[in-house]
Each structure stands twice: as C-alpha cells, then as structure tokens.
Amino acid sequence: MPHRKPTQIDRLRGREIAALRKSAGLTQTSLGSLVGLTHQQISKYELGRSSMTLSLYEELISQLRPRRQQSGFEEEQRAMSPNAAQDALARRLRGIVSQLKILTSEVENAIREAERG
C-alpha cells in the first residue's frame, strides 16, 4: 500500500493525539509500546508529518481515553470493522511482545549481576 501525503486532517489528529497523550501523562515511547510503534513514529504522527490509518487513529484514541471510560478491548473490537479490529489486536500484541523482550533482558541482566555478586 503506497504511503499518502499527510493532510490537514492528519495534522489535526496528530495534535489531538499529542494533547491526549500529554494529559494522560504518557511519553511517546510508552504510548508507542501500547500500540506496537516506535516513539519516532508517534512523533511523526503527532507532528502531522506522517499520515495514519483510521484504525490506527481509533486504537491510539482508545489507548488515551481515561481508563474509567474504557469499556474493555473486546467491546471495542466488536464496534470496529473486522480489519480494524485485527489491526488493533496485531498492534497491541506487538506492543506486548516488545515489553516482554525488554523485561526478559532486564531479568537476564539481574541474574548475571546476582551471579557475579
């Protein structure tokens, strides 16, 4: 799928994502890990330098909504189109895998430190 040039809507969505992220107290890195993206890509979206799909926008918004308003991932999936739900689940899984790799590395480092000491 060819990349399209960012539009005014992309820039508005990016500003919205940035404002919601900041009000939620999240960094670009932490938001990216929730949806399986790098902080660089989150930055490009927030600055309106990269266009985002509607399903990604919906996933970012769902991650940034106050937790008390979230009705659960399963209900959100039912409300999405099948492709959007699949994309959202895939991004969420990539984020989980990324977090697991980081945790595994930290545990391995702690074990090495304990073995040395």
Other CB atoms within a 10 A radius of the CB of residue 64 amount to 19
Where are the domains positioned within the chain?
A: 8-116
Task: Read off the pLDDT band of 71 (50, 70, 90).
Answer: very low
pLDDT at 3 over 50: yes
Provide the whole-model pTM: 0.56
Per-residue pLDDT of 38-50, as tens digits, reads 999 999 999 999 9
Q: How far apart are CA 75 and CA 83, in angstroms?
A: 15
pLDDT at 87 over 90: no
Q: Which fold has domain 8-116?
A: 434 Repressor (Amino-terminal Domain) (1.10.260)
Task: Read off the pLDDT band of 18 (50, 70, 90).
Answer: very high
